[in-house]
A and B are shown apart, each in its own frame.
Chain A
Amino acid sequence: MHFEPSEEQRLIEQAARQFAAEVLRPKAAERDQKSLFPEEELRKLGELGLLGVNVPEQYGGSQAGVVAYSLALSQIAQADASVSVAMAVTNMVAEVICAFGTEEQKQKYVPRLCSGDAVAGAFALSEPQSGSDAASLKTVAEKVDGGYRLTGSKQWITSGDRAGVIVVWARTDAGAPVDKRNQAAGLSAFLVEAGTPGLVAGRPEHKLGLKGSTTVPLTLDGCFVPDSARLSKEGDGFRIAMVALDGGRIGIASQAVGIGRAALLAAKDYSKERKQFDKALCDFQAIANMLADAGTQLDAAQLLALRAAFLKESGQPFSQKAAMAKLYASEAAGRICDMALQVHGGYGYTQEFPVERYLRDVRVSRIYEGTSEIQRVVIARSVLKEFSDHAS
């Protein structure tokens, strides 16, 4: 057992760190303040192989595995969380197509996603009335000659107005009797290209944070997609979403680790420079203790994220462990960002320092790709099952 990254993992992390420091960090505050979408930066991430880190080389990916992905994503998030979420969703979409797509679908979409030619990928599951309860979604895919007509509304779609490829979930059981207990069986997933007639992106949301990333509602107004756009079989949609989100949670955990690390480093540096009562802040135990707790929790968060990544990479069950990583990392990073702002005092509350951005950016990590509450449901169900299996 050892925790050190391999040479390849280190190289990917190093490439991400360098890009983050040289290209992303200098303009992160500006992108946040002006809500600028990082289109050019995403293209460069594609050139570096960071839009398909865990995607096979034959489809344009880096084939470097999930641990490398986690390490790289944390580095990008440390500089700019908005860029990292577009990166995370694009990787997730590329991976989900690799996992469930036909050879034709993989060849058509995955290289474009990995290179950045598609700008980004998007994942359209949530709806105005359906978030955590995904199986209750209402968008309908009506079977027509040669394909489907998609009709409905999607909500909170990251990069939804920029993405070249969007995975859209819709019901293929319309007209069949609604069985509340088995709603999930009626879901299917479709690959919808930007510009498809009937697909309209709404006004980007004004958000608390992640202002460099766009989040939009999507309207599907009888949007026609051919049979070849369906991902896997009819009725497979819920399973596809859950598999994708299991992996996605490793991404969000890694993002939270990156934001938390940025906040801890900012607090540490500031506490060394700032003097009060003739002493540096870090020489007060009250402040040093905050740093110690933040450092410990950050390491715990990263170890959970990397453990989940390692399990996924080595083909073992990882759903419970990804939920733990996402739950713990998002909550720990939230505490760390809040601590960092407190250490900065009044300065921390202004845009002169980056910590207020970190605090705003990190907040959503407890919400998207499964709220903390949903993670606890996932974890509790799985540990209780282990207890009852063990007892019987």
Chain B
Amino acid sequence: MDLRLTDEQLMAQKTAAEFAKSEVLPRAADIDREHRFPAELVRRMAELGFLGIAIPEQYGGSGLDTVSYVLVLEEISRACASTGVIMSVNNSLVCDPLLKFGTEEQKQKWLAPLASGQLLGCFALSEPDAGSDAAAQKTVALKDGDGWVINGVKNWITNGPNANVCILQCMADPPGKQAGHKAITTFILPMDLPGVRTGPADKKLGIRGSQSCQIFLDDVRVGRDLLLGDVGTGFKVAMSTLDGGRIGIASQALGIARASFEDAGRYALERKTFGQPIANHQAIQWKLADMATELDAARLLTLRAASLKDRGARFGKEAAMAKLFASECANRAAKECVQIFGGNGYVEDYPAERHYRDAKITEIYEGTSEIMRIVISSALLKE
């Protein structure tokens, strides 16, 4: 056991912290209020190598590891959770599966520009009637000559309005639920193909700077070169990708929890009631102590999952634990942050209400808390 970070990891963390403080944090409130996609920050993250952190340099990435990814993503999300998820999706849900399942040609053609940030990616699994239950998807790819024709609708696709490339899950020919998980197939879908159309950006409770939308697929023709993995291996691709994605969302949640904790702590030292800073009251101290403790526990769970991934060990259960714990920790922390800010916590002049709204999504996307508990209990019962 050695819990020290390497110099490289510390450097990545420091670079991210400085960038987050000087460039991301000053914009976070406006991004949220204006529902604005922070294109300039995405460009800066590309320059800093944050859009393909754990991708080898030969494929346009930074060549760092998953632990560095967690550290960087926490810093970015601490400043702005919207910017955090834009980064998380590109790293975990787009670059990762291309690295793991792509052919050499696909890696050269798609991974390199995505990891370096020349292109931005999205990941499409959910549909109006299929979320946690992936085998209930209705989007279908019918065989047509050497390629396929895809029809269907995808829902809540983060980065959808802004992405150049989509990692698309659908049911391959023969279609239908009968085949269940074995029909799920993954394609690399350039978003400018004929028949691909995005809907208006969703109006959301939080992470308003990250845009999500529906994607409509009408007779979209794709060739074999766009097939990621094989026909019928999509479930494996999706599950493996989401295992890694959960480390990303856990890291985003860590950032939100830390923002809640730090903003609340500093406010508690300034705000006075009954002649003294509210930080002197035990009722407030208790909240801060619990927030700090849970935040540390969440970070340790997340870093453990990341370090297992880096070592090539199984990490599905650990990633689910990290995501479950960190997301619920972020929600408790944000709730207490609003409470410590009192009336000021309820107004947009202070960041507390943004943290509170941003935190909620971490319990839902990339596997709800309910799905996490199924993943964890199934793994525990097998041990």
Contact = CB atoms under 8 A, between A and B. Distances in A.
B290 interface: yes
A310 interface: yes
Given A300-B301, A383-B265, A295 B293 contact: no
Contact of B288 (A2, A3, A324, A380): A380
Contact of B325 (A296, A307, A324, A379): A296
A105 B338 CA distance: 54
Contacts of A377: 282, 285, 289
Nearest to B329: A300
Nearest to A383: B292
A9 to B, nearest CB: 7
A277 interface: no
A376 B285 contact: yes
A376 B283 CA distance: 11
Interface stretch (A22-30, A38-46, A219-227, A282-290): A282-290
Which bracket fits the contact residues of B?
35 or more
B300 A300 contact: yes
Interface stretch (B2-10, B160-168, B209-217): B2-10
B373 A289 contact: yes
A293 B373 contact: yes
A295 B2 contact: no
B377 A324 contact: no
B20 interface: no
Given A295-B321, A375-B289, A1 B5 contact: yes
Contacts of A307: 3, 296, 300
Nearest to A294: B380
Contact of B285 (A3, A328, A384): A384
A388 B269 contact: yes
Contact of A304 (B1, B265, B296, B377): B296
Nearest to A321: B296
Contact of B380 (A4, A295, A306): A295
B279 interface: yes
A230 interface: no
A180 to B, nearest CB: 19
Contacts of A295: 321, 376-377, 380
A299 B326 CA distance: 13
B79 interface: no
A293 B328 CA distance: 11
A268 B380 contact: yes
B300 A380 contact: no
A282 B373 CA distance: 12
A178 interface: no
B325 A300 contact: yes
Contacts of A328: 293-294, 297
Interface string A235-277: 0000000000000000000000000000000001001100000
B297 A303 contact: yes
Interface string A358-392: 00000000000000000111011101100110010
B266 A387 contact: yes
Contacts of B296: 304, 307, 321, 324
Nearest to A327: B293
A9 B373 contact: no
Contact of A296 (B303, B321, B370): B321
Contacts of B294: 328
A182 interface: no
Q: Which of A314, A381, A383 has the most CB of B within 10 A?
A: A383
Nearest to B372: A292
B321 A268 contact: no
Given A282-B381, A303-B300, A391-B266, A324 B324 contact: no
Given A377-B285, A384-B285, A303 B301 contact: yes
A288 B377 contact: yes
A271 B301 CA distance: 26
Contacts of B376: 291-292, 295-296
Nearest to B303: A1
A369 to B, nearest CB: 17
Interface in B309-348: 311, 318, 321, 324-325
Best-surrounded residue of A289, A301, A324, A380 (most CB of chain B within 10 A): A380
Contacts of A3: 1, 3, 304, 307-308
Given A291-B377, A292-B376, A383-B288, 15 more contacts: A1-B5, A2-B1, A3-B304, A3-B308, A5-B1, A285-B374, A292-B372, A295-B321, A303-B304, A304-B293, A310-B1, A310-B3, A324-B292, A379-B289, A380-B285
7 contacts: A3-B1, A3-B307, A296-B301, A303-B300, A303-B304, A376-B286, A377-B285
Interface of B: 1-6, 9, 67, 262, 265-266, 268-269, 279, 282, 285-286, 288-290, 292-294, 296-298, 300-301, 303-304, 307-308, 311, 318, 321, 324-325, 370, 372-378, 380-381
